[in-house]
Structure 1
Amino acid sequence: MSYIFFFIVLIPIIAILSDTVVKMKKLQVQKEGLSTKDKQLLENLLEENKDLKKRLENLEVIALEGSTIALDNPSLKEKELQNQINYLADEIKKLKDSQNPTAPES
């Protein structure tokens, strides 16, 4: 469980640092121009920054959904899915019954 917290804290820090490096590099480019090597480095940093942001969003979703509980206890997730299936089956039956009010129930 502490690893998840570690990643949740680490990823935003890395994303912030990457964004800072990109901004510094852009300022440097504005000041003195850009070599081919610098252009490639900037492109790599921009791509890495995008990847880190996506990873951060994924971690936020995992943390907010409480998926860690389901990972620790797979049977809990199965029960939750079964409850959803039962609920949806009942809703479908109600819809069918409301469309055919004269049809006998089976």
Structure 2
Amino acid sequence: MNALVVDHHHFRTPPAVEDAKEGRIQTVLSGRSLIAVLIKLWDTRANARRMQGDWGDWVMATTIYNRIAVRLTDITGEGETIHIILDDGAPHTTLED
């Protein structure tokens, strides 16, 4: 996904990308960068040719887009921190743990 989104005019490189071990990373995205990610996921969902080898791209883009959308649906306040975990294998813990 990174290769797709870095050229989008809304994307800003995160200040840090932390190694969370076991092949995982953790980072913080600005709202503007999150918009760029959502746009690129939407484009991938819409443009992937399901029967011509892009099925995996379509499935990943759809899954990630939907998970982000669910977390953003009930946002009520400005400056609210939103935590989105996109790894099915990650334990469900808070950042304080």
Q: What TM-score bracket applies, with the shorter chain setting the length?
A: 0.3 to 0.5
TM-score by length of structure 1 reads 0.33
Q: Which has the higher strand share?
A: 2
TM-score by length of structure 2 reads 0.34
Computing the radius of gyration over CA atoms, which structure comes out larger, 1 or 2? 1
Greater RCO (Cα-Cα under 8 Å, separation 6 or more): 1
